Chains A and B, each alone.
Chain A
């Protein structure tokens, strides 16, 4: 009975997942003086539902949480710094262009107009050399850089919110490259 229940539950979850989940790929960090520049890509984020939402003209947001933290075995992980990157796209059906605004910790750092969904997807899911952190002290080599993307939220039984996020993508601080002069 227990085995049957486990198998049934796993099958249900697999079907509910509906294909490859979104994930952070190609996480790469570079150190430029005290600044940490992050590059990464969000894969499988643009599904049919998101495309429909974008073309309907509703503001559509991808939110990336970037943080530096040190894992601790017997206690909660210690977070040194955390940055939020929000990329919001708004479709103008008259001009058939997408206005893409990028905010870092709430401050607008980029605003551009793109045409076409492919370019929009690239703009929203590809981050290149984002100055995410400003280091003020030496970071322990075991410290990790972590990135997670949030694609929105759904509600369970209409009442209980469930955030749709990717898993954390991690890399060690000692793997951070230096920007060549």
Chain B
């Protein structure tokens, strides 16, 4: 593991935006800082461990030089125990905390927990087993060393020396005790209170010194000092103070023994006391003593002290073992703590990026595309993490785009739904019948009005092809117009539906997409039957009014002529004859005018349905133009017929009437120097007839009303001529339009469809 990894956060959503670079640079700086802190902490732990082991090693080396009582010192043991308990708790805490975390992660089925468990177990086992083996070996070694410490020859020497010392002391004690017993019997009869017997006492004691080889003899009356005798060979020695307790013990028990080692003297005194009680008086105590000179006393004391040290060490052997064992345990625990911590740390550094990646994949799979794995690593795992983050960023970005598009689509669909609803409402309420046909000729929509107009049900129309919907002969007219609109978008068509004639204006509008491709058609049907009936009614009303007006005009001169004739007759005027003649002439003329007018009305009113036949156009033009050849001398009259339309199918008489009407007006309006021409040519499936003149032309406002009945620009005539022309052309399913002729004049264009 030569890489750095650090998990800082994992919820910062990334995005491919302008601020990403800025945020990324800040994150990088923070990661580097974190990594630096990480490194410092690792180096700190390692340095601390090194220092600790150095001190521990130094202390172990020094402990071999320290006196045993220092090693087994209670405070040292307490400190070692305290440190070890703390270390045990720390190790347990580190291990249990990580094991608990692993357990919880496994219970929660956190991704990567199994891998982490294996890795942690491996690391702990790798660190735990050698350390524990080392501890066991070192412990055995220490235990053996301590046991060997008590099996050295020095111990035997000490033991034997101490026994020798004790035997010597006991021997002296026995000798002194015998001497004390002897002396106390010798002074049994001496009154120790009597001054005159003191000299005798002294002699006995001196003799005793010599005979028993004693160094000191002391005499007490119970605890009261009486006399002391010292061997002059012993040198300048102060008599020792055996102590009242010693004397009282001797009084109580009859004898006592004590080794006296005064602090202010180098010699030791081996004292034995013997007492004897006389009736009615205090007991007499004789203390017989031997002086151990300074050298011997020092050697004896050193020997005893060494032996005591050995015994103390033996008594404290468990503490000594414990001390070393605790020391080793402390080192072991520190190694264990560091190794387990480092093991766990390394395991975490390996598993955390993997775990973060696993968690990231899970989150991304659940749809959290903003999830960001923020793991600082500069090895292959780092590359993997970066790739993962880049991938999620791109997915997130794509997802955002998709969502935006989806939102747009949703909005568009909503708008379309609204528009469709609006259109549906409009179509439902509109008076016109509307059908839409897709590119395949299938009816996709159809409003109720259209169904009512065409007397069909929705099932018969919707979703069906138009050929099947309009297959009968009457509706087939609409189908024919749909298939061949003849360059027009609107047609007026009459259908016999349900036994009644209906007049519709049918509009066929192609639907085109943005590329201009036709994707279908909208068919709009407008029922003109009632409108036409109303127009007819209005026309007839107007006709009645005009007839009344036109009839009234000739009636006035007729009435005036009749009244004049009656007056002349009553007055017997001589000019009666002339008046009669004038009057009759006026009446005849006006009646003739009235007859002409009635004929025209009759013709307009009783326009028969056209009966088409094959007509030679050139012949028709020739016959018609011949009527006008001599009317206006100098006027140029001519015609032309395209070869492909020599013959055409229409009602010859009605079209002749149309041509006469148009030629009447043209000849009338064109000056003698002008020209009037009639042309025929083919345009797709129709025949175009044009009557053109070079007259003054027709004003624009007059063009709009030109084909209305009783409209006239000439101020004479009935105004029915062009209305009749329009009616004839319409009966032929054709159209007529008026345009300006270039450079001057007017041109009427008639389009007659040919079946």
Q: Which residues of A pack against B, CB within 8 Å?
A: 52-53, 55-58, 91-97, 112-113, 115, 155, 158-161
Contacts and interface: CB of A to CB of B under 8 A. Distances in A.
Contacts of A159: 81, 84-85, 88, 326
B304 A94 contact: yes
A93 B304 contact: yes
A122 to B, nearest CB: 14
A69 B308 CA distance: 43
B259 A58 contact: no
A155 B315 contact: no
Given A94-B300, A94-B305, A95-B261, 11 more contacts: A56-B312, A57-B312, A58-B312, A94-B301, A94-B304, A95-B258, A95-B260, A97-B258, A158-B322, A158-B326, A159-B326
A55 B166 CA distance: 14
Contact of B311 (A52, A97, A158): A52
Nearest to A114: B245
A53 B308 CA distance: 10
B329 to A, nearest CB: 7
B314 interface: yes
Nearest to A154: B318
Chain B: interface size category: 20 to 34
A158 B314 contact: no
Nearest to A53: B315
Contacts of A58: 312, 315-316
Contacts of A93: 304-305, 307-308
Contacts of B116: none
Nearest to B319: A155
A160 B81 CA distance: 8
B81 A158 contact: yes
Contacts of A57: 308, 311-312
Given A58-B316, A159-B81, A159-B85, A95 B311 contact: no
Contacts of A160: 85
Interface string B259-272: 11100000010000
Name, among A94, A95, A97, the residue most crowded by chain B CB atoms within 10 Å (CB to CB).
A94
Given A53-B315, A56-B314, A155 B305 contact: no
A52 B81 contact: no
A160 B322 CA distance: 12
B660 interface: no
A56 B259 contact: no
A94 B329 contact: no
Interface string B236-258: 00000001010001000000001
Nearest to A60: B315
Interface in B60-97: 81, 84-85, 88
6 closest A-B pairs by CB: A56-B311, A56-B312, A57-B308, A56-B315, A95-B259, A93-B304
A165 to B, nearest CB: 18
B268 A94 contact: yes
A52 B311 CA distance: 8
A160 B311 CA distance: 26
B144 to A, nearest CB: 17
A24 to B, nearest CB: 26
B325 interface: yes
A26 B304 CA distance: 39
A129 B336 CA distance: 56
A158 B326 CA distance: 8
Contacts of B325: 158
29 contacts: A52-B311, A52-B314, A55-B311, A56-B308, A56-B314, A56-B315, A57-B308, A58-B312, A92-B261, A93-B304, A93-B307, A94-B301, A94-B305, A95-B259, A95-B260, A97-B258, A112-B245, A113-B245, A115-B249, A115-B258, A155-B81, A155-B322, A158-B81, A158-B322, A158-B329, A159-B84, A159-B88, A159-B326, A161-B81
B300 A52 contact: no
Name, among B259, B301, B316, B329, the residue most crowded by chain A CB atoms within 10 Å (CB to CB).
B259
A155 B81 CA distance: 10
Contacts of B326: 158-159
A64 B260 CA distance: 32
A57 B304 CA distance: 11
A96 B322 CA distance: 30
A105 B304 CA distance: 34
A32 to B, nearest CB: 27
A118 B260 CA distance: 21
Contacts of B312: 56-58
A161 B326 CA distance: 14
A91 B309 CA distance: 12
Contacts of B259: 94-97
Contacts of A95: 258-261
Nearest to A112: B245
A159 B300 CA distance: 40
Contacts of A52: 311, 314-315
Nearest to B304: A93
Contacts of B322: 155, 158
A158 to B, nearest CB: 5
Interface in B608-624: none
Contacts of B260: 95
Nearest to B269: A95
Contacts of B249: 115
Contacts of B243: 113
Contacts of A97: 258-259
Interface string B284-311: 0000000000000000110011011001
B314 A94 contact: no
A94 B262 CA distance: 11
Contacts of A113: 243, 245
Contacts of A112: 245
Nearest to A113: B245
A52 B317 CA distance: 12
A112 to B, nearest CB: 8
A31 B431 CA distance: 128
A118 to B, nearest CB: 13
Contacts of B304: 93-94
A55 B311 CA distance: 8
Contacts of A158: 81, 322, 325-326, 329
A55 B316 CA distance: 13
Nearest to A54: B315
A127 to B, nearest CB: 20
Contacts of A56: 308, 311-312, 314-315
Given A58-B312, A155-B81, A158-B326, A94 B307 contact: no
A113 B677 CA distance: 170
A57 B310 CA distance: 10
A58 B305 CA distance: 12
A39 B612 CA distance: 158
A115 B304 CA distance: 17
Contacts of A91: 308
Nearest to B84: A159
Contacts of B305: 93-94
A97 B315 CA distance: 19
A16 to B, nearest CB: 16
Nearest to A49: B315
Contacts of B301: 94
Contacts of A94: 259, 261, 268, 300-301, 304-305
Nearest to A96: B259
Contacts of B245: 112-113
Name, among A58, A93, A96, the residue most crowded by chain B CB atoms within 10 Å (CB to CB).
A93
A85 to B, nearest CB: 21
B498 to A, nearest CB: 104
